[in-house]
Amino acid sequence: MPSSRAIAVNGIELYLLEAGQGPLVLLCHGWPELSYSWRHQIAALARAGFHVVAPDMRGFGNSSAPADVGAYSIFHTVGDMVALTAALGESKAAIVGHDWGAPVAWHAALFRPDLFTAVAGMSVPPPFRGRGRPLDTLRENGISNFYWQYFQTPGIAEAEFERDVARSMRALLGSGFSDASASLFIDAAKGFLGEVSADRPLPHWLSEADLAFFVGTYQRTGFRGGLNWYRNIDRNWELTAPWQDAQIRQPSLFIAGAQDSVVTGLIGAKRINELERVLPNLKGRLIIDGAGHWIQQERPEQVNAALIAFLKDNAV
């Protein structure tokens, strides 16, 4: 069983799960998740000889959730991982991210190659910085109902998700982005969740006890902290201007589910096919047949095997 503690970093407190000894490996979760999302990886990586640390990211779970929307930029979230590495007494780390944690991991490797010596991302490809701000680009292309846009105005998505947290988490984790046919465009009359039954059966990889853990946490914290990450999408584009067309040269690994709607769309599929443009030292590209978005929970054996092999060869 991992131990847990809170640690002061970068002006906030991060709650973390921790296990093992050896080279440091940071596990960064996404939305709407928690350090608990790595429950299948923590012990496995620790047994393989690594010091594994999985924080509740800023705005989530037991970690601090600043009120200011601007406190959730990519500089803040990467800064948390830089400060966490230092607080743990290390000068090098491997970093792994899933969903929103993947951009944190990719940018950590991009911003601080001296510190993050190996990087793995799941479900979200590495940064391809476009020519304009992402939300502006959507509008200019006549798109007004993409889920990023739905999440922008504080209070709207929160109200939908917090109306019945158990139903929301059953919908988000029970399907969410895990169906290749799932639409990421919002019907204003149905909201993000659509018409999901509160007693919808869970997928085989998510137990009622697992769901109850997520539900209990989000009933206590609400959803605003995590949604604030989306409210920095344009700000992140502005902040990362100095890294336009930059490459991540450290050893890298990409893992995704073949049924993940984040990577099956036109843009996602194109980026998967062009990973080497940003990752010239890509060591592996694992696309798992039949799996969806919550890949480390859905297919822990395959994910763990790929991570351990990658980290044993590349973690310092």
The catalytic residues are 99, 293
Distance between CA atoms of residues 54 and 140, nearest Å: 39
CA distances to 2, 24, 122, 191, 256 from 294, rounded to whole Å, are 21, 23, 9, 21, 9
| Residue at 94: amino acid letter | A
Cα 166 to the chain's mean position, in Å? 21
Contacts of 33 (CB under 8 A, 6+ apart): 60, 98, 99, 214
- Which candidate, 25, 23, 3, 1, places its Cα nearest to that of 81? 25
Bond preceding residue 32 cis, omega within 30 of 0: yes
Measure the CA angle with vertex 298, ends 127 and 293; round to 5°: 35
